[in-house]
Each structure stands twice: as structure tokens, then as C-alpha cells.
Amino acid sequence: MLNKLGTTGARLAMLRDIPTRPNNDARRLAANSSNVQVGSTDAAGGVPPTLDSEQAAATKVGAPCAATVAWVCADRCEPVIDDKVVYFSPDHFTGGYAVYLTGALGEALAPLINQH
């Protein structure tokens, strides 16, 4: 898809896959309301296996590639960050967390936006 889009002359950017969290759901959070971080894992466990191929595809078409793992994982990948539930499903952020990330997204896209 990036190859096809690259032929249009459009400026492209890729957001890498987010860390997937198969065990972060509302039931787990509700069952552990006094310890919502019980579903956290070490940062290495949250890294998507597609990062190298995503980077290669973006590089091939000259598109900046924004890593998203740091948006969820520091030392650990957490199911709740700054009182916001991170995941709606194993591989989708909640709407509230997506809004929370607008500043990080803006920073990630700034190199593309600032190109002339």
C-alpha cells in the first residue's frame, strides 16, 4: 500500500503498530480495581513483532515512521496510564487514551508537517 501511495506524490508517514495486550479488558480491570496495573507486562513483552518490517516499508518510500511503543510502555506496558484505560481491545486504544495521545502524535508527525 505504501508503494502505491508513494506514487501519488502525497507526503506519507507511518504509525507503527501499538503494543498488543490480550489480557487487558474491562473484566480484568473490574476484578482488580484495587490494583489496575495487575495486567502490566515488561516492556519487551509489549513490542509488536512487525516493527522491523514496518520500518523497512516506510524507509523504502521515504516516509517517517513513528514508534508507538513508548506511548504505552516505559519500564512496563501498563493497562491504565494517567487514570486513563489504555486498551479498548487487545490491539486498539480507547477513545479517551487516543485523545490523550494527541500531543505525542503531533510530535511524531512534526517532521512531516514541517517539510516544505
Contact (Cβ atoms closer than 8 angstroms) between residue 11 and residue 74:
no
Tell me the sheet residues that pair with 81.
Answer: 84
Return the residue matching grid coordinates 491504565.
Answer: 80
pTM of the model: 0.76
Question: What secondary structure letter does DSSP report for 93?
Answer: E
d(CA 5, CA 107): 23
pLDDT tens string, the chain, 116 residues long: the values are 888 887 888 888 888 888 877 666 667 777 777 887 777 777 777 777 777 888 888 888 888 888 888 888 888 888 889 989 888 887 888 999 999 999 998 888 887 677 64
Q: Kindly give, in sequence order, each residue whose CB lies less than 8 Å from that of residue 99, ignoring residues fewer than 6 positions away.
A: none
Could you give the 3-state DSSP secondary structure of residue 108?
A: helix
Gyration radius (Cα) of the chain, Å: 16
